[in-house]
Amino acid sequence: MAPLFSARSRAIEPFHVMALLGRAHELQAAGHDVIHLEIGEPDFATAEPIVRAGQAALAAGHTRYTAARGLPALREALAGFYAQRYGVSIDPERILITPGGSGALLLASALLVDPGKHWLLADPGYPCNRHFLRLVEGDAQLVPVGPESNYQLTPELVERHWNPDSVGALLASPANPTGSVLSREQLAGLSGALRARGGQLLVDEIYHGLTYGLDAPSVLEVDDEAYVLNSFSKYFGMTGWRLGWLVAPENAVPSLEKLAQNLYISAPTMAQHAALACFQPDTLAILEARRAEFARRRDYLLPALRELGFRIAVEPQGAFYLYADISAFGGDAYAFCRHFLETEHVAITPGLDFGRFQANCHVRFAYTQSLPRLEQAVERIARGLKSWNPDAV
């Protein structure tokens, strides 16, 4: 007999890119040089001051559970960071430390979404967002967005797609996969549109700090009642440490703490102690130098891909991705990605991983490789385009 797995587990889709990643590892094991432009993980190791702080925490015996909301010292450090970077005053009691940004999204979904209720999400967008909603028996109401709205929701789109089962919206700024950023005025407009309908606003600010030519405003600058999820993974470069945080309205904290106690007890203790070093001046100097390097990579790869015929309608202002339309080349995105992996050993992500709207004619490039490797990748892609035949797939 087939296992009686839950309907929710069957409804949650796998990452299509993971099959490509598995094949990439097979090619590497066979001796091929694969250039990885598919995975959204900074290629830099965690900054040395953070590593030293983690090692010191282990040596000092900081290996027990913390409180469910996290180390008070880390919550206070984050409150100070918000005051310095955004000019907003956040009570540390409103901050919960979570196991990655995913832990923050899990808490917010469990708190705010009842079975059958909907949240508005931009399509394309990060796929796990809709899957977390499904996990709590809610639903993602995917709203098609394109270059005309900078791949973001707008108050007009909220008005058009809101229905009796809608209870809120989840935004991302900077966004994955497009790198688009919401301005302070746009955040205020969206906040107003949701408030007018009694809706909740949750903003994914995981790529804050990784912006180019501007600083992304926090939604907390315009809406103190919004929920914010963030992570130490991207700007702070702590992907494997699994540490994030959630900023919530004061009246939501007791319920969120109760959920945290039951869902995961606490975030990793060593990682929390290590993260205290994130806000030191020497650490921030390292992180800002890395941001500048990502900007150089974007400024190389964006025109190089456009010159090859990829249509990238919106210049990304943040994150480390380029979302490219491959319509000029024909064929579907997954086959396109498979072709470049097999023939040129360049791994990229098909648009199918980011939603439904025009997904089959888009791919995502992550510029999480050094400039010389990006130059190699462009040379290989140019060669691979000559051998690409969509009719032969």
From the list 365, 355, 315, the residue with the least C-alpha distance to 122 is: 355
Report the alpha-carbon distance of residue 319 to residue 181 in Å, rounded.
Answer: 9
64: left (phi over 0), alpha (psi -120 to 50) or beta: beta
Cis, bond preceding 254 (omega within 30 deg of 0) = no
Task: State residue 2's pLDDT score.
Answer: 57
pLDDT of the residue at 393: 67
- 7-45+283-387 CATH: 3.90.1150.10
Strand partners, 142: 121
The predicted pLDDT at position 3 comes to 72
**How far apart, in Å, are the Cα atoms of 165 and each of 142, 361, 370, 387?**
14, 31, 46, 49
> Inter-axis angle of helices 333-344 and 371-387, to 10 degrees?
110
Nearest to 232 by CA among 95, 345, 93, 371: 95
Q: In terms of DSSP bridges, do strands 244-247 and 95-98 run parallel, antiparallel, or are they unpaired?
A: antiparallel
Evaluate if residue 186 carries a pLDDT over 90.
yes
Q: Tell me the pLDDT tens digit for each residue of 290-312.
A: 999 999 999 999 999 999 999 99
Residues ≥6 apart with Cβ < 8 Å to 366 = 36, 37, 38, 39, 40, 41, 320, 321, 349
**Confidence at residue 17, expressed as pLDDT on a 0 to 100 scale:** 83
Neighbours of 369 (CB within 10 A): 19
Question: Is residue 11 over pLDDT 90?
Answer: no
By CB neighbour count within 10 A (0-12 exposed, 13-18 middle, 19+ buried), where does 126 fall? buried
- Please report, rounded to a whole number, the percentage of residues in the chain having pLDDT higher than 90: 92
- Token pair listed for 102: 């995913």
DSSP state of 146: -
Asked if residue 273 lies in contact with residue 81, where contact means CB atoms within 8 angstroms, the answer is no
CA-wise closest residue to 348 among 19, 15, 20: 20
Q: What is the pLDDT of residue 286?
A: 98
Query: pLDDT by residue (tens digit) across 64-78?
Result: 999 999 999 999 999
Q: Kindly tell me the burial class for residue 6, based on how many C-beta atoms sit within 10 Å of its own C-beta (0-12, 13-18, 19 or more).
A: exposed
Task: Look at the pTM and tell me if it is higher than 0.85.
Answer: yes
pLDDT value at position 298?
A: 98
Q: What is the pLDDT of residue 80?
A: 98
What is the DSSP annotation of 204-226? Answer: E-TTTT-BSSS-PPPGGGT-TTS
Residues 243-257: tens digit of each pLDDT: 999 999 999 999 999
Q: How far is it, in rounded angstroms, from Cα 287 to Cα 211?
A: 12
Mean predicted lDDT score pLDDT of the chain = 96
**Residue type at position 118:** H
Q: Do the domains spanning 7-45+283-387 and 48-280 agree at the CATH topology level?
A: no
- In sequence order, what are the beta bridge partners of 211? 318
As a whole number, mean pLDDT of residues 369-377 equals 97
Topology given in CATH for the domain delimited by 48-280: Aspartate Aminotransferase; domain 2 (3.40.640)
Domain residue spans of the chain: 7-45+283-387, 48-280
What is d(CA 126, CA 233) in angstroms, rounded to the nearest whole number?
Answer: 15
What pLDDT, on a 0 to 100 scale, did the predictor assign at position 271? 98
- DSSP assignment of 92-122 equals GGGEEEESHHHHHHHHHHHHH--TT-EEEEE
